[in-house]
Amino acid sequence: MRLVIARCSVDYVGRLTAHLPMAPRLVLMKADGSVSIHADDRAFKPLNWMNPPCTVRERVDEETGDAVWTVTHDKSGEKLVLTIEDLIHDSSHELGPDPGLQKDGVEAHLQELLADHINVLGEGYSLIRREYPTAIGPVDILCRDADGATVAVEIKRRGEIDGVEQLTRYLELLNRDTTLAPVRGIFAAQEIKPQARTLAEDRDIGCVVLDYEEMRGIEPDMLRLF
């Protein structure tokens, strides 16, 4: 991983255009080829980013003397152009392979069960894969609905606002991939807090309450009214 702190401006050129004016920022350039631009707020959410695979070209503007880094997506041709006025810090670190997130036992089993019984989400659903990799972490389940549209599923034992925010970040990333877009989201949990449900519905994210015992094929020992 390469860590760069610089006073820079950033221009995104592609299907949309965006401009970040000159300011001190952190640039993360990961071994997987992703590049993300961060400010000293917004928690871990980047201001802008480019997914792998991409190519970085560095040059010096002859008129201004500023360094210009152009990050080009190898498939879409979209670009991030960083104009660096002052390079404050530049270091590289070898992190090695990551063992991955160790999920809570019940949560991990929920993911496995839902992948095996994907029609819990609706008739006609089909699994693409579990732990679908992205530059910011794996999506629990990626699948297709009955109409063939891509659906990203985030699974929690207890569904709270931070889980909805996590799924929102995955959706922003996945919808940049033209081979998958449009991608909609489903937030699945054994229990979904009212605030999390409200936020999810406001972002057009579906909510599904998972019955762990039923998915395991064990009939609950309590009587049901419905």
Helix (H) or strand (E) holding 114: helix 105-116
Q: Share the mean pLDDT of the chain.
A: 89
Asked which of 92, 121, 149 is the last residue of a domain, the reply is: 92
Within a domain: 177: yes
- The pLDDT assigned to 224 comes to 40
Answer with the one of 48, 66, 92 that is the final residue of a domain. Answer: 92
> What integer pLDDT is reported at residue 148 of this predicted model?
94
Are 61 and 158 part of one and the same domain? Answer: no
Domain shared by 147 and 59, yes or no: no
Cα–Cα distance between 72 and 122 in angstroms, integer?
A: 39
Domain annotation covers residue 77: yes
CATH of the domain at 57: 2.70.180.20
Structural domain includes residue 222:
no
Q: State mean pLDDT over 1-8.
A: 96
Q: Residue 101's pLDDT is what? A: 54
85 with 120, same domain: the answer is: no
pLDDT tens figures, 124-151: 999 999 999 998 899 999 999 999 999 9
Query: Is 224 inside a domain boundary?
Result: no
Give the C-alpha distances (Å, rounded to integers) separating 9 from 19, 38, 83: 8, 12, 5
Geometric angle at alpha carbon 35, from 204 and 49, rounded to 5°: 30
Whether 97 is in a domain gets the answer: no
- Among residues 141, 136, 139, 133, which one has the least CA distance to residue 111? 141
Domain hosting 63: range is: 2-92
The CATH number that applies at residue 185 is 3.40.1350.10
